[in-house]
Amino acid sequence: MAREENVNWAGRFRAPLADFTSVPRPLDGVPPFVWHGSVRTPEIAEQAARYGDGFFVNNMFAPMKHYARSVALYRRGFTHHGDGAPEDGAVGAGSGIWVHANSQEAVREYRPSYDAHPIHSRSGFSLEEEAAVTGLTVGSPAQVVEKVMKFPGHFGTLRRVLFGFDFGGMPESRIHNVIDVVGSEVLSVLRTELTGVA
């Protein structure tokens, strides 16, 4: 990684940089940690491993076993490129969730948005089928915790799990309610379960 303050660079897909200074500068001269995100492309896993960076899988729109193959590729490459043991690679996973105290109510609320979503509606999966095989969880706080606790079984140790709430134009007031439920009833349980810290 270049650590010069001013950079000169030319490549194929953008205009060249001539005496370019990136601001703001990294704090204490330490570059930020880089995550490479992937929805379907295994080349991103290879790229993240080559640079010793983190690898983040979308974990939606395709079965978790699909993303598990990309994570395995990343972990093998991480070791191959001399960055450490496979388990040292930084892996993160995404998840779309819609939570309500009552799981049936969560499904009832979410279904219209799921059915109207440009990707979900063309996936060939019903809401229930997609929730069964992908990271998507629609249900009670306990169901969200149960699903997220399955992620390490597919991907190994995770450094990050990101939740997406608005997939399909849900009303903002409902999104705020979901965030409140996740904050009060999901995160504390996951923190204890995943880290052992209450």
Q: Is residue 170 part of a domain?
A: yes
pLDDT of residue 119: 80
84-102 mean pLDDT: 93
- Element (DSSP H or E) covering residue 66: helix 64-80
**Residue 56: is its pLDDT beyond 90?**
yes
Whether pTM exceeds 0.85: no
Q: Is residue 64 part of a domain?
A: yes
Tell me phi and psi for residue 12, to 5 degrees.
Answer: -90, -30
Q: What pLDDT band is residue 93 in, cutting at 50, 70 and 90?
A: very high
**Residue 1: is its pLDDT beyond 50?**
no
Looking at per-residue confidence, does 105 or 167 come out higher?
Answer: 105
Mean pLDDT, the chain, whole residue set: 89
93 SS3 class: strand
Structural domain containing residue 149: 34-195
Q: CA 101 → CA 95, 105, 167, distances in Å?
A: 19, 8, 19
**CATH number of the structural domain spanning residue 71:** 3.20.20.30
Assigned token pair, 142 = 């306990």
172-186 mean pLDDT: 92
Q: Is residue 11 part of a domain?
A: no
- Tally the residues of the chain: 198
Q: How many structural domains is the chain composed of?
A: 1
**Residue 101: is its pLDDT beyond 70?**
yes
Q: Is residue 17 part of a domain?
A: no
pLDDT of residue 49: 97
145-161 mean pLDDT: 93
